[in-house]
A = this chain, B = another copy of it.
Amino acid sequence: MPKIKAIHHVAVVVDDVEKALTFWRDALGIELHELRDVPAEHAQVAFLPIAGAEIELVRPTTEDSGLAKYLAKRGPGMHHICLEVDDLQGLLTQLKEKNVRLINEEPRVAADGKQYAFIHPEATGGALVELYQI
């Protein structure tokens, strides 16, 4: 049976990464591991590791991505929770059997080779949930 292994990251959508870093990095003292553009996600992302998990500050770099629309509609704030799973394909099959509404019915593959899929907030109690297999 597929198993949820960890909270991998929590993503916060922001309109200004440098400004957000004055809090997360400078005031809280969390190390900034990396700040980079992720063209596939139309976003600039700051990665701030905390004990095996991560806070990700995400700023949309185009105006028509889902992320940009979310920011325009809801304002800056928490965007999604990402859970690490040992068998993404198996878990998606299990979720489909239970009629859980998915955004991605099959695993997608990121540029770095990680497999991921998003679950619709309607199914989770309102939170956007990402599943990751590393």
Q: Which residues of A does B touch, CB under 8 Å?
A: 1-7, 10, 12-14, 16, 19-20, 22-24, 26-30, 50-51, 53, 55, 57, 74-81, 83, 91, 94-95, 98, 100, 121, 123-128
With the chains together, A23 CA to B28 CA distance in Å? 33
Query: Is A51 touching B14 in the complex (CB atoms < 8 A)?
Result: no
Integer count of this chain's copies in the complex:
2
Q: What residues on B are CB-neighbors of A5 within 8 Å?
A: 50-51
The answer to whether B127 touches A12 (Cβ under 8 A) is yes
Query: Is the CB–CB distance between A126 and B53 below 8 Å?
Result: no
**Cβ-closest 9 pairs across A and B:** A76-B126, A20-B125, A77-B126, A14-B125, A78-B78, A6-B51, A27-B98, A7-B53, A12-B127
